[in-house]
Structures are given as C-alpha cells and as structure tokens.
Structure 1
Amino acid sequence: MTLTLTIDTARWREHHRGVLDGYPGLVPVCKGNGYGFGLHRLMRETTRLGIRLAAVGTVQEAALVQDSFPGDLLVLTPYRNGEASPALSERTIRVVSSPEHCDGLAGHRVVIELRSSMRRHGITEADLPALRPVMSGWEFEGFSIHLPLNRVGGLGGAEEVASWVRRLRAERMPLHHVFVSHLTAEEMAGLHAEFPRTRFRLRTGTKLWLGAPEATRYSSPVLDVTRPEREDRPGAGRRQRDSGRHLIVVAGGISHGVGLRAPRLLSGLRDRARHVAGIGHACLNHHLSPFVWDGVRCRFAAPPGLQESVLLVPGDSPRPKVGDEVAVQLRYTITRPDRVVDEPRVPPAASAVTGGPAPEQG
C-alpha cells in the first residue's frame, strides 16, 4: 500500500529559481505537512537556494527543523505569555501581535505583526504607544503584514501595505524590513520605488512550492479488482450490480488526506449551483473520489478507509489490473504520501484529467 508523490526534480527546482529571481529577498514558508513534500525536504531545498531565513508555522515545527537548517527561523504563530515552548535556537525569531503579550522577550529577536484587512491578528495603530517602551529591549527585526488571499473591495494589497508604512513612518518607527504576503512582483517593485529605504520581503509557500503543478503528481497502485454482486455491501455502503463495472481497491485513505475537505467561500451562481448539485449526489451516496482512471474520476464505492479506498470503475473504461497506476488529485496541504520519488523528468500521467492542484493558502 503506497501512495506516491513523484517529483520532476529538475523542473521543480527550475521553478524555484524563477520565483526567487522575481522576488529578491523571498522568505520561503515551510509549515504544516510541508505543502505535501515534508518539512525537512523543504528545508533542504531552501538551503540549496542559498536562502538564510525561512518561516515555520509553530514553535514545535521550529524545534523539529532547527538542527537541520543552518539559517534563521521565523515562527509565524504569535507569541503568547506563558506559552509552553520547546528549547529553541538563538536563530529563532518570534512574532508579537499584541502589546499584552510581550513578557519574557527581552533580548530576543522579534517581528511585529500588523493588523491587516484579513483581521486575523495583529497590532493596530492605537497599540503602537504601548509597544514603544518594550521594543527597546528586543533585537527588533521588522514589521510583518499578512494580506488576504482573495480581496473583495477596499484597498489593494500594495496600497494597504503602503498605508501602514506611512503611519509607521509618522510614528517614527524603525522601517528597515517589512515582511508581506500575496503581492505580485509588480506590486513589490512599486513599494520599493515609493519607499527606497525599506526592504520589503515576500513570505510565500504556495507560489514557491506549488507553483509548478506540471512538475509533481500523486499516484496509487491498484491492490485488488472484483466485480460487484447484487446487494453487495462494500464497506459501509450498498451498490446494485451494474453490468461491466468493477470495484477496485487502491492505496490511499483518510490517513493520507483522501476524503478530507475544507470549507470554501462560494461566489457566483455557477459555484452555488455546483455546490447544490454536489449535495444532491451526496444524498444518493454518489461521492466522487480524487482517483482518476482512464481520464475519469471514479466514485467511492464506500467511505475511504484509513489507508485504502474502494472505488467503482465505469463499465465503459478498460478493466484495471492489480499493480496498475491510478492518478490521484489531492490537495497538497493536507496530503501525507507514503513516499516521495525524485525523477529527472515526469511525463504527464496518461490517466490524469485536466487541471492542477486545488488553490492553496500560504
């Protein structure tokens, strides 16, 4: 049972160099499941690129990779007084997002998170006077602002950053470095032109690691093939026999990320119509799987198991054989493959349908 991620290493790394050329000073984000590649793999790639600062999500992730990464680590989760933290290297940089949570940071490296229109966390302009007395005791690294991925109305991303920089400059705050997210190369160049004394550095994971979908693919072997019988009950579901169809067992289940879905915002009639149609199919126990055979996504014959899935293959498709490879369309940020294989070149999977990985947030 092996769900495999195959990487066209040369093409993948060529993409990394292209992104780095377009965004000088880029800070790679290496968090969670390592965007499907694993944290240690991303740290090795960051080192290969000659980058000396990477961002991780939590203090636990920082502790996990600090011995294998020689550079600095920016922990994106804001610091909280009294938090339980593992022993961290002096190369660790913490984020402050509230003037009430600064205890114990004297002498430590600190970045201040600014409140953006995303309204997740961050200090406001009213918080600045309360921060000024404690900032003198820090090794201050700069400011950071996390912008929304999908912006609807209001200021554009670059305009929102520029607005904050003007306010900070009016308050005579040190503006040597500002870390930003979700900006284009043109927007970054505009900020550097308007504020030449400030260095703006893009923080990104999605653009860097997942921006070349043609360089990576998931696949799974067929473990077994059977014919569904009348009144057969594979797993917890029931299916009537349908002439010509086959049931196949493939590697890949819930523990790998198969069958997991995140809520998404709907916009427009088409999105809503598709969502309603999906609810109708679910009521009939017709659930599309991420597994693709002969260019068609197979339906689950039963809810996915922990490490395998049972699928219903359409009768007009070629009959699969044990050992055949099935393409899998999975969301990289929630998938944990059994193994990662490097190849000099990876041809497009013949059974894959058109389309890259689902949109991710970095």
Structure 2
Amino acid sequence: MSFTLQLDTSAWRRHLESVAAATSARAQLIPVVKGSGYGIGQNLLAREATRLGSGCIAVGTIYELDGILDAYAGDVVVLEPFEPRDASAERAWSRVLERTDSARVIRTVSRPSALFALSAGGGVSRVLIEARSSMHRFGMDERELLATLADTSIRSAIHEGRLAIEGLTLHLPMTQPADEETGRGAVSMSPRAREVCRWAGLWSAEVSGWTAQSATAAAIWTSHLSDDELASVAAATPGIELRSRIGTRLWLGDRSALTAQGTVLAVHPLPARTRVGYRQRTGPKDGTLVVVSGGTGHGIGLSAPSPVASARQRVVAAGTGALESAGRAMSPFTWAGRQRWFAEPPHQHHSMIWLPRGCVIPAVGDQVTADVRFTTTRFDEVLEIDSPE
C-alpha cells in the first residue's frame, strides 16, 4: 500500500493565483520547480506554471532539464551555475544542447572563467550573470563583474550575439542581510531590498552603455523578497524589469491544501513487555503496534539540520536529543489527534508506531496523516481532489 499526497486542487490553485497576482503587479513571476518539485512533482508544477501563464520557470540543475523541457513549452533557467570544469555536468550540457529545443535554456554564470568559456564556444548561449549577494554562495563581486564585462572578448561576444545576456540574478538570504548598509533615501527599505537596489543601480549603469542587448539584459532577477519588499524595490527602480523567482512560498504556502498520509498495513495489539522490530524494543503496557506505509525511502525519519536560535529552541533540541538517546523518537504520523511514537527507526518503506491502551485503533487500509518536510519527501502517488468551495 501507498504513502501518498492528497492535493486539494481547488484550494491549492486559489493560493497559487493569489501569489501570482500579488507578484505580477510588480514583477514577472518565475516559478521554481527544482528537485523533486517540492514533493509534488516537477511535471505537475510545470503544468501549473503553464496554467498561470508563466513564460519562464527555473530548475535546480542540468540533470533536471530533459523531463522539464518535454513537459513545459517556455524558457527554463538552470539555477546551479554553469561550470565547464565539472566533467559530468559538461557531458549533460552537451546532451541537452543536441536537443532541437535547447534555445529555450538559460544558463546561470557565476564565475568569469565560465563566461569566457561560453564566449569562446560556438553558437549562442543565453546567460544570466549571478552577482555575489550577502549569501556569499555563488556569484561575482562588483569588481569581478565590471572587469569581466569590460573585457574586449566578452564585449565582442555580447555585441555579436554569441552571449545573449538575460539579466543579473541575485540569490538572497531568507533572513535579512546583517552587513547591508543603509543608503540615503533607503531608510524605509529592508536590508534585503536595499541590497537589490544597490545591485540594480550598478547593473543599470553598466548595461545602459551597451550598443546591443541593453533592453533585454537590464532585467534584475531576485529571490526571497516579500510582496512589500518587491513593491519597494519596484518603486525605487523605475524602468527596470524585475523577475521574481518563487518556489516554497508559491507551491507550499498553503499547507492546508496538502495532506501527506500513510496507509495502515497491519495492526497488532500486544501484551506488556513484548519485544518488536529489528531492534527488539518494548513498548507501552498493553499497547498496539501499527505498521504504516512510509519509510526512509519516502523521506520519513530524514531531516535536514535546522537553526537553533532561541532559548526555547535550545530546550526543545536538548529534550529531543535526550529522548532519542534513550531510544524514543517521535514519528511524523498523527492518529486520533496526537502525534505518535516510533516503535523503532523507520524501515525503507514502512514505519512501526505505538498506540497506547485506550486509544481508538485503526483498521488495515485506514489513512494516517503525516507532518513531513516536502522537499525531502517522495510520494508514491499525488492524489488530486476538489474540495467544495
């Protein structure tokens, strides 16, 4: 039996349309459909991007391109920077460029050496140049950017159309940049919005002197801006086309429309001190062992590191660690209104959970909901339903 995602299509689409409307008032929406498609599936998200009227989407890596190019008719940006020294990725790029629709693909370039490599190659390369934001992950700093664009070989490639510059892209932090200085007239802006405006000013001044591509190249692509921040950037940069990449907030912003659920596969009422599972652990007195679909192969029990900032978070983390060291771990599964304990760490396709004495007992085939991290979860099936308005 299956570990599934129940998608309330009507409610989910109302949320998508709300985000799209708020964004499109100030910028072009670029839906991000990277990885597993946020647990929902890349092809389904590509379909919804088409329905929203998006002419461009973004994927994470070159390895995601083949399926997306088949499922989506618009332009596709590859977010991971192009690096010709990555031999495996270079082979994947060569395969993509053999496709008849490869002209729809836009590369992200974050290093001068990568831009020089593309300028020396044959054909036309559509390129987004990445600036080094306060994330400090990828991108060129101001000096590198201006020096690279001043190079005569790069200028020639742009003028001749061998490099088709689609704009400057910024990948911003989710929290506000700590080192962004307040500029004159920008006191009311958030540090993140000020950072975008600073780069937009530099980029606009640079491309305004180009004799070719100055109109298309002037676009600024951003991420992780709130609606208010996007509005403040748009007001401060009149005449500059803004493009806003949105992933999590778009697809997962209304969690009530998304229900992860496992199927009950077996139910075993057991006497006290019965040992169960691979590790032969005991459970609650006269408890019931329930086997439910959903295991490590689906992402159950896998977690990414999370920041611990507040005193409360530290207490919770310490308490959780103490319980796990004693062999007790809370599962993501909820039954009868309460989250339930794992009997032992999840198996590849199934999990074993305990229900205490007196609890309502499920039947085989019943559905048990789960609170999951969607970006690391793989569902056996996405079930689209329509709830009443």
TM over 0.5: yes
Count of residues paired in the alignment: 347
CA distance in 1, matches of 2:236, 2:283: 68
The one-letter code of the counterpart of 2:235 is A
Alignment partner, residue 147 of structure 1 = 172
Residue 231 of structure 1 deviates from its aligned partner by 4.8
What is the TM-score with the length of structure 2 in the denominator? Answer: 0.85
Look up the match of 1:177. Answer: 219
Match of 2:131 in 1: 114
Structure 1 window deviating more from structure 2 (15-24 vs 236-245): it is 236-245
| Partner Cα distance (1:260, 1:346) in 2 | 34
d(CA) in 2 for partners of 1:158 and 1:124?
18
Structure 2: segments with no counterpart, 5+ residues: 181-190, 209-213
State yes or no: 1:17 paired with 2:26.
no
Change (3 A) 1:152 1:236: farther
2:104 is the counterpart of 1:104 = no
Alignment of structure 1 residues 1-362 onto 2, 5 Å: 1-24=1-24, 25-82=28-85, 83-85=90-92, 86-88=95-97, 89-102=102-115, 103-105=117-119, 107-128=124-145, 129-133=147-151, 134=154, 136=158, 137-151=162-176, 153-155=178-180, 156-172=191-207, 174=214, 176-240=218-282, 242-345=284-387
2:113 is aligned with what amino acid? E
Given that residues 237 and 303 in structure 1 are in contact (C-alpha distance below 8 angstroms), is that contact kept between their aligned partners in structure 2? no
- 1:205 partner letter: G
Could you tell which deviates more after superposition, 130-139 or 310-319?
A: 130-139
Q: Is the 8 A contact 1:254 1:305 kept in 2?
A: yes
**What code does the residue aligned with 2:10 have?**
A
* 2: CA distance, partners of 1:302 / 1:199: 53
Q: CA deviation at 1:138?
A: 0.6
Residue 67 of structure 1 deviates from its aligned partner by 1.7
- The offset of 1:316, in angstroms, is 3.4
Q: Tell whether the 8 Å contact from 2:285 to 2:356 is kept in structure 1 after alignment.
A: no
Q: Secondary structure at the match of 1:66?
A: helix
Contact 1:239–1:301 (CA<8 Å) still a contact in 2?
A: yes
What letter matches 1:259 in structure 2?
A: G
CA offsets per residue over residues 59-105 of structure 1, 9 Å max, x none?
11112210221000000000011422232411000001000122135
Q: Distance in 2 between matches of 1:278 and 1:184?
A: 33
Does the Cα contact within 8 Å between 2:281 and 2:344 map onto a contact in 1? no
Work out the CA distance in 1 between the residues paired with 2:150 and 2:2.
54
Q: Secondary structure at the match of 1:62?
A: helix
Larger displacement relative to structure 2 (224-233 or 69-78): 224-233
Shift of 1:152: 5.7
Q: TM-score, normalised by structure 1?
A: 0.91
Work out the CA distance in 2 between the residues paired with 1:132 and 1:335: 45
SS at match of 1:278: helix
Q: Any conservation in 1 of the 2:6–2:259 contact (CA below 8 Å)?
A: yes
Contact 2:268–2:289 (8 Å) recurs in 1? yes
> Larger deviation: 243-252 or 167-176?
167-176
In 1, are the aligned partners of 2:134 and 2:177 still within 8 Å (CA)?
A: no
Output the CA distance in 2 between the equivalents of 1:267 and 1:277.
Answer: 15
**Superposed CA RMSD:** 1.8
- Alpha-carbon shift at residue 229 of structure 1 (Å): 4.5
The answer (yes or no) to whether the contact 1:220–1:325 under 8 Å persists in 2 is: yes
Instruction: Tell whether the 8 Å contact from 2:267 to 2:363 is kept in structure 1 after alignment.
Output: yes
Q: Residues 6 and 217 of structure 1 are in contact (CA less than 8 Å); yes or no, is this contact kept in structure 2?
A: yes
The Cα of 1:346 is off from its aligned counterpart by 7.8
Q: Distance in 1 between matches of 2:177 and 2:194?
A: 14
How many angstroms does 1:269 deviate by?
A: 0.6
CA contact (8 A) 1:118 1:147 kept: yes
Q: Is the 8 A contact 1:176 1:197 kept in 2?
A: no
Distance between the aligned counterparts of 2:307 and 2:195, measured in 1? 23
